[in-house]
Copies of this chain bind each other. A is one copy, B any other.
Amino acid sequence: MTTEDFRSAKNIATFYPPQRILMGPGPSDTHHRVLSAMARPTLGHLDPVFANMMEEIKDLLRYAFQTKNKMTFSVSGPGSVGMEMCFVNMIEPGDKVVVCRNGVFGSRMIENVERHGGVAVVVDDKWGEPVDPQKVEDALKQHPDAKILAFVHAETSTGVLSDAQTLCELARRYDCLTIVDTVTSLGGSPIKVDEWGIDAIYSGSQKCLSCPPGLSPVSFSERVTNLVKNRKTKVHSWFMDIGLLLGYWGSSTRTYHHTAPTNSLYALHESLVMLYEEGLERSWARHRRNHEAFKAGLATMGINYVVDEQYRLPQLNSVYIPDGVDDKAVRDRLLADYSLEIGAGLGDFAGKVWRFGLMGTSSRVENVVMCLNALETVFSDMGVNLKRGTAESAAHQSYAENPMP
């Protein structure tokens, strides 16, 4: 198609996105400091100034993951690539992997095991319930040849938090390495890689770190490094081969591997600096505090959570859609009238569940109040009998009762 033909067929101009408030399961709102960082001039990926920034990212990620692991860096792809990087490096043909499935991302782990030549032993729990350590122990006992235990710490599809510490202890006891998905937990809920003995961990930039999507922070223990060094077969991906990547992210080597996504890494750096300035403990407390207030507001509208209180992720509130309320009509109205995005249910939860994210920058008092008021208005307009302002009052009361530590 010639330039002239294309120009007359299509009328495409600069894209100006609307300003949303992102309260779905991710991405969350990107902080203006992070957006500014992203727009700074591009550097060469081998520039010494850029190399120094990469070292800072490694340090900041070690802090965020609470680990001393040397092999801690950012994968140049979204969380799904971080996940695949763990499996493709750690599995050799025929290896047995115990995979816990209590939502969408457990299923994706099984796909990963099988596509990389492993055998998945699946431990199922209901959607909305945490991984049951007893079932995991039974599976590990029944499969003494299992090499890896893989589970999701914070299930984005259901809003449930599993007990990573207990599961990792079990894995050690049965001589298994662990692969842990923390896409939705990093920065929002406590993660202690070294204390809990996690071997391979991956996350995403776009949830509680408030960075645009596209990068996946990862960390690997020495047990993983040794495993990969002693593989009998070559990792069957060139891009994801940890051995090659180490040469690039290693502080002394910096061998050309691929062209790092410079500007996206500026953004990640800034979001990690913000996490470090706030402090992990305060970030966790903020996520919890906004969750408590939001929960108090939802309660006044008779909205029920999917997950039992003790297993709830503060940053991801999965609730049942009230009877008689039209899922899509509400979400469309919120987007159209409030520029507010909330999450639909995935898989079995489609049409039945909403997911409200309070992650990173999106986890703030203004958003809690605005969202509660918007829901009250929309429900009232749909004929639900609600006294306007009740939810907001309940939220404010919760804030008063739960000051920041």
Residue numbers of A with Cβ under 8 A of B are 1, 3, 6-7, 10, 12-20, 22, 24, 26-30, 33, 35-45, 47, 49-50, 53, 56, 59-60, 62-63, 66, 68, 76-81, 83-84, 88, 108, 111-112, 114-117, 204, 206, 212-214, 234-239, 256-264, 266-267, 269-270, 273, 276, 279-281, 335, 341, 346
Question: Quick check: A41 and B60 within 8 Å, CB to CB?
Answer: no
Nearest neighbor of A33 in chain B, beta-carbon distance: B14
Question: Quick check: B238 and A111 within 8 Å, CB to CB?
Answer: yes
Question: Quick check: A261 and B258 within 8 Å, CB to CB?
Answer: no
Given A7-B276, A77-B77, A30 contacting B15 (CB threshold 8 A): no
Question: Quick check: B206 and A276 within 8 Å, CB to CB?
Answer: no
Query: A332 vs B4: C-alpha distance in the bound complex, in angstroms?
Result: 45
Q: Which of B26, B115, B263, B276 contacts A30 (CB 8 A)?
A: B263
**Which B residues lie within 8 Å of A204 (CB)?**
259
Question: Quick check: B76 and A214 within 8 Å, CB to CB?
Answer: yes
Q: Which of B18, B116, B239, B280 contacts A49 (CB 8 A)?
A: B18
**Which B residues lie within 8 Å of A7 (CB)?**
276
Further pairs besides A17-B40, A26-B259, A76-B78: 20, Cβ < 8 Å: A3-B279, A10-B63, A13-B273, A17-B50, A20-B47, A24-B44, A35-B41, A44-B341, A76-B214, A77-B77, A80-B238, A80-B258, A84-B239, A204-B259, A212-B262, A213-B259, A214-B263, A214-B264, A236-B236, A263-B264
